[in-house]
Amino acid sequence: MVFSTGITGGIPYTLPNVEYIPIDDVEKLERYRPGGYHPITIGAWLNDRYRIVHKLGFGTYSTVWLARDQEAEKYVAIKITVAAGDPADSQESNILRQLGIGELKAKPHIGAAYIPRILDEFSISGPNGIHRCFVTVPGMMSLAEAKDASSARLFQLPVARAIAAQLVQAVAFLHSQGIVHADLHAGNILLRLPESMDTLSPERLYEQCGRPHTEPVERLDQRPLPNGVPSHVVVPVWLGKASEQISPSEAQIIVTDYGESFTPATTRRHYSHIPALLVPPEVHFEPQRPLSFPADIWTLACTIWEIIGQRPLFEGFNPSVDWVIREQVDALGKLPLEWWVKWDSRTRWFNEDGTRHSGASPRTWEQRFSDSVQEPRQEAKTQVVEEEEQAALLAMLRAMLAFRPEERPTATEVMESEWMQKWALPSLPSQMKG
């Protein structure tokens, strides 16, 4: 028998690794153990204030629940961490506190509205240890989930513009506070749960979204469940909708997940944990150079492309570093000379002048825009990007995707670009305009 050992609440433990009958779409059941998840049931009360209504999701280090704040008469999201602690949690909470303090001290920045606030935090004690709880505004779904729920995988163009405008404003605010997000992508941008949902009682919410669905937890060996393991687990609720069904008034975002965020003034960061296809090229070619704000500008451009289009700018399944660089060169052209000669794999695909070997057809920048944005919009019979807007949008994105980080615009300069001023910012709902 295999045993795991550790310490929770200052008490050493030795616990056999128990295996459970797998259940789809729920957290890993083996993590209900000392130092792990907190078992919780629908209807439970936390901190004498929050009543658990449904499950929103889970991660390696936490479960996230929809709760009714009985004092404020609103719905909130409560993140309950594992008792052993999430290595990124203290970082994330410190960053969010820093942002909240910065917002109070400084002249209000419109981008601060898209950063989650920690509304409350407290600890709870359970059979698996002591768990930190963070209360925030709930999200309806991520942008990635909205697209996954859609066959067209497109936002209406006014909605896409409004989402992109808010995202640029959010990044400008983060950078004004000296913080690099370092993990910008469609999975970390949530659409807010509409405030109209706060008027619904839990019973009315269940009528609209369905009652919590639970599955019994059973051991493979059919023996009794250990202490600290719930008898049933809750399948997360789907509060969202397909991307094309999002209305302009619902296009209000929250930029989440600050576990990778850092302050370049005090932290030297030479690596990136962002999805491989979004990693900026300086990570590969100048590994000795600390990352800074331009790394966010690169991933911001990639994310805006995905918001406007159906497909991402750079594509590949489980891609190698060489594949990612090939995608970047296909779309954006030859690398700076010192990087080009350093890239040994270039000869697999390219001639020395940066063109493809004879017979190979690269997916150029223009081809990708047609494939990802215009043709899918035409097929879906939704608004395409007209010529004048297209020129402004592509000029902004190409500048943001300069290979050399020092050549990219700042977030403030992106905000001042023609596309932001003429198309994106005017698409914001009136209550969100500064």
Which tokens hold the place of 350?
A: 């390219």
Q: Between helices 293-308 and 157-176, what is the axis angle to 10°?
A: 170
Contacts of 359 (CB under 8 A, 6+ apart): none
Counting every residue written for the chain, the total comes to 434
Cα–Cα distance for residue pair 325/332, rounded to 1 Å? 10
**Would you say 229 and 19 are in contact if contact means Cβ atoms under 8 Å apart?**
no
**Would you say 95 and 179 are in contact if contact means Cβ atoms under 8 Å apart?**
yes
User: Letter for the amino acid at 272?
Assistant: S
Cα–Cα distance for residue pair 66/5, rounded to 1 Å? 32
CA distances from 418 to 55, 234, 368, 392, 396 (A): 42, 47, 22, 6, 8
Count CB atoms within 10 A of the CB of residue 197: 18
**Among residues 217, 186, 257, which one has the least CA distance to residue 20?**
217
- Under DSSP, the state recorded for 374 is I
79 is in an annotated binding site: yes
3-state DSSP helix/strand/coil percent for the chain, to nearest 5?
A: 40, 20, 45
Give the angle 148-65-104 at the CA atoms, nearest 5°.
95
User: Letter for the amino acid at 152?
Assistant: A
Contacts of 67 (CB under 8 A, 6+ apart): 46, 50, 51, 52, 53, 75, 76, 77, 78, 135
CA distances from 334 to 167, 232, 327, 362 (A): 29, 55, 11, 12
**Would you say 372 and 305 are in contact if contact means Cβ atoms under 8 Å apart?**
yes
**Among residues 313, 327, 196, 183, which one has the least CA distance to residue 257?**
183
**Would you say 50 and 68 are in contact if contact means Cβ atoms under 8 Å apart?**
yes
Please state the residue numbers annotated as binding site for ATP.
79
The annotated binding site is made up of: 79
